């Protein structure tokens, strides 16, 4: 999933926030960005892990 190109969380959030179906108070931006940045950092752990094409998602799950 990763290409070595660094993900720019701030640029992404500033581009994506206005696309939501509702207005976001500018005062909330720092906290939203901090949360998203943290999510992006955490996601690296599995995005960097190679999966075979045969690994299907488990949205309806039977353990």
Burial code of 32-59, b = ≥16 C-beta within 10 A, e = fewer?
A: ebeebeeeeeeeeeeeeeeeeeeeeeee
Q: Which chain residues interact with another protein by CB under 8 A? A: 1, 12-13, 16-17, 20-22, 24-25, 28, 31-36, 38-39, 42-47, 49, 51, 55-63
- Least Å distance between CB 3 and another protein? 12
Q: Pick left, alpha or beta for residue 4 (phi over 0 → left; psi -120 to 50 → alpha; otherwise beta).
A: left
- Least Å distance between CB 18 and another protein? 11
- Least Å distance between CB 4 and another protein? 16
């Amino acid at each position: 999933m990763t290409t070595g190109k660094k993900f720019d969380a701030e640029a992404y959030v500033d581009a994506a926030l206005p696309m939501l179906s509702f207005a976001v108070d500018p005062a909330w931006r720092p906290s939203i960005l901090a949360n998203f940045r943290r999510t992006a950092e955490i996601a690296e752990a599995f995005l960097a892990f190679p999966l075979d094409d045969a690994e299907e998602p488990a949205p309806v799950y039977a353990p």
